[in-house]
Amino acid sequence: MIHTEVPLRVAALGGRLGVGALDILYNNVGASTVGDSRVTQTAVEEFRRALDLNLFGMLLCCRHAIPRFLQAGGGGVVNTSLAVGLMGVPDLDSYTAAMGGVVASTRLIAVEGARERRGAHIHDHRAGTGDVQAQAGDGSVHEELLGPASPEDVAYAALFLPSDEARVITGVGLPVDSGVTMS
C-alpha cells in the first residue's frame, strides 16, 4: 500500500542509479473493506483509509513519475479504477468516492499538462466490476453484456493506452467492463 512518499522517492532514484528508464506508470488501485457502508454509518477512519489507498497513493505515484517522463521526453500513465466511480454503489460510499476521485484526478492531470508532457498519455482505465456488482444489493442489476472480462482483456487495454498507437489519446476513461456501465 503506497500512501507515503518514501517508497516513491526510492523508486524515483532507480533511473538515476542505472536501473533503467520509467516508461509507463500503471496505478492499479482498488480496495474496499467490510467497514465501508453508507456515509452516515462509515467510520471516519474508513473514509481516510479508502482515500489514502485508492486516491492518494495514485496521486503520489503520478507526482513522482510525471517529472521523469518530462525529463525523458514522454511516458504513459494508466490509472485503473472501477466503474463504481461513475455509477455509485450503495453501501460502498468510501470506495465509491475514492474511485470517483481517481476518475476526476486522471482527467485533471491530463488536461493540466497535455502540452508540457510531450507525449505522456494519462488515462483512466476502468476494469470490470465483478464482485462490486454482487455487493450493491440495491435490487439493480448491471448486466455484463458480453460476458465477464478476463484479466487478459484488462491487460490488452492497459498496454494499448500508453502505446505509440494511442499517442493522440489522453485523459480518456476506457471501460473494460463488458458493457456494465451502459446497462
pLDDT at residue number 73: 77
Cell for 160?
494499448
Alpha carbons 16 and 89: distance in angstroms, whole number? 43
pLDDT at residue number 163: 85
Residue tagged active-site, from 49, 79, 95, 136: 95
Residue identified by cell 532514484 is 13
pLDDT at residue number 24: 85
pLDDT at residue number 119: 45
pTM of this prediction exceeds 0.85? no
Backbone angles phi, psi at 173, to 5 degrees: -105, 120
20-176 — its CATH code?
3.40.50.720
pLDDT at residue number 12: 54
DSSP 126: E
What is the end-to-end Cα distance of the chain in Å, rounded? 33
Q: What distances in angstroms separate CA 121 from CA 17, 56, 164, 171, one per listed residue?
A: 25, 20, 10, 7
Helix (H) or strand (E) holding 78: strand 76-82
The amino acid sitting at 1 is M
Q: What is the pLDDT along the chain (183 residues), one digit of tens a residue?
A: 555 565 555 455 555 555 567 788 888 877 888 889 999 999 999 999 999 888 998 898 888 888 888 777 778 888 888 777 777 778 889 988 998 898 888 888 888 767 665 444 555 555 544 443 433 444 555 677 787 878 888 888 888 888 888 877 888 888 887 777 776
Residue ranges of the domains in the chain? Answer: 20-176
The reply to whether 156 belongs to the active site is no
Contact present, 158 and 125 (Cβ < 8 Å): yes
